[in-house]
């Protein structure tokens, strides 16, 4: 791929790894990263060979959510988070997707990872649904997928307080995902992908479609409600001030 922010690597003939590596933005949702992800999953959809996708980041970063510029554009009413459907790329992918979240998953970056079929966390990394830190209500399907994947109690806590949680802390809270030392996350994901690749491709596609159809059917109504909440909360002056002064802190 010509896009340097996203690398596609065939681990084996039927396993593809998508590595987010926009180091200039620490894997925030820059145009380079979003374009690269959209192109990567388009290419995967066109393939008749792949059986599993591994989605991962670089170093200490999995994905960091919206850029400051992007959040300010939403705050100013110039755009909405629905400009693309990047957040649901893993959900819409025909074949199973493994989020190897070796690094920090922040805001929309964490949410994007949770839409995968398999989630692997790092003990050392920070995971946060930090929308409310900036004063606006969550988007990108967060109000649905965070409680769905982490359980209502912990999910609502993460959404309401926008706090930061180490993977090791989430492990103690009973999250239903493997939580491993950072250096072991990708190896675990690749072994899991090999186990999936032992199955017939058509059977993987058929079963995934059956398992995620309820999510796919519910998500549009959730997104519509999140957009209504954004109209009520995102355009306040306090939100603009928080994005301007607190971003990246």
* Token digits of residue 181: 């030392």
CA 136 to chain centre: 19
CB 113 within 8 A of CB 89: no
* Token digits of residue 183: 């250096």
Catalytically active residues are 230
CA–CA dist 160, 154 (Å, integer): 10
C-alpha atoms less than 13 angstroms from C-alpha of 126 in its C-beta half-sphere: 10
Q: Name the maximum alpha-carbon separation found in the chain.
A: 54
Which letter does DSSP use for residue 84 in this model?
Answer: S
Q: 33 to each of 40, 67, 150, 169, how far by Cα in Å?
A: 10, 11, 26, 29
233 - beta bridge partners? none
What is the crossing angle of helices 142-150 and 201-233, to 10°? 130
């Amino acid at each position: 791929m010509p896009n340097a922010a996203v690398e596609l690597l065939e681990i084996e003939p039927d396993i593809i790894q998508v590595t987010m590596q926009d180091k200039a933005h620490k894997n925030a949702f820059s145009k380079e990263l979003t374009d690269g992800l959209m192109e990567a999953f388009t290419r995967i959809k066109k393939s008749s060979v792949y059986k599993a996708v591994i989605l991962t980041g670089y170093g200490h970063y999995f994905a960091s959510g919206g850029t400051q510029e992007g959040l300010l554009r939403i705050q100013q009413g110039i755009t909405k988070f629905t400009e693309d459907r990047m957040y649901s790329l893993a959900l819409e992918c025909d074949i199973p997707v493994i989020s190897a979240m070796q690094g920090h998953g922040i805001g929309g970056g964490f949410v994007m990872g949770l839409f995968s079929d398999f989630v692997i966390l790092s003990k050392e990394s920070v995971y946060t649904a930090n929308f409310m830190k900036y004063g606006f209500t969550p988007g990108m399907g967060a109000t649905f997928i965070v409680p769905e994947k982490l359980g209502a109690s912990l999910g609502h806590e993460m959404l309401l307080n926008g706090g930061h949680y180490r993977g090791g802390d989430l492990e103690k809270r009973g999250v239903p995902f493997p939580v491993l030392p950072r250096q072991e996350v990708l190896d675990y994901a690749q072994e899991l992908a090999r186990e999936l690749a032992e199955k017939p491709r058509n059977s993987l596609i058929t079963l995934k479609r059956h398992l995620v159809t309820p999510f796919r059917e519910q998500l549009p109504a959730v997104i519509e409600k999140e957009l209504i909440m954004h109209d009520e909360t995102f355009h306040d002056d306090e939100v603009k001030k928080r994005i301007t002064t607190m971003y990246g802190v």
